């Protein structure tokens, strides 16, 4: 069972490719950084009221 607020499967692609957009001058959300630690774990806030607790569910199409 996944932890509440954890990355969804579709978000893990962004985590795994976090540095690629940086080569073009783009920054991804802190939530996708490979070393991300959920802010609500340290602040004691509920995950659903902090920015990094909100998933961005996206589809990724990768051509091979």
Of the candidates 42, 44, 52, which has an alpha carbon nearest to the alpha carbon of residue 5?
52
**Number of domains the chain is built from:** 1
- Structure confidence by residue, pLDDT tens digits, 11-59: 899 999 999 999 999 999 999 999 999 888 888 888 888 888 888 766 6
Confidence label for 64 from pLDDT (cuts 50, 70 and 90)? low
Residue 62 reports pLDDT greater than 90? no
- Structural domain of residue 20, as residue ranges? 9-53
Structure-model confidence comparison of residues 35 and 3, the more confident one:
35
Confidence label for 1 from pLDDT (cuts 50, 70 and 90)? low
pLDDT of residue 58: 63
Q: Is residue 59 part of a domain?
A: no
Q: Is residue 27 part of a domain?
A: yes
Ramachandran assignment for 46, one of left (phi > 0), alpha (psi -120 to 50 degrees), beta (any other): beta
* Long-range contact pairs involving 44-50 (C-beta distance under 8 Å, separation at least 24): 47/4, 47/5, 48/5
CA distance 10 to 40: 21
């Amino acid at each position: 069972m996944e932890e509440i607020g954890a990355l969804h499967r579709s978000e893990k692609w962004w985590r795994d490719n976090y540095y690629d957009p940086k080569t073009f001058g783009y920054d991804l959300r802190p939530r996708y950084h490979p070393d991300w630690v959920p802010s609500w774990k340290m602040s004691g806030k509920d995950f659903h009221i902090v920015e990094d607790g909100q998933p961005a569910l996206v589809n990724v199409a990768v051509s091979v």
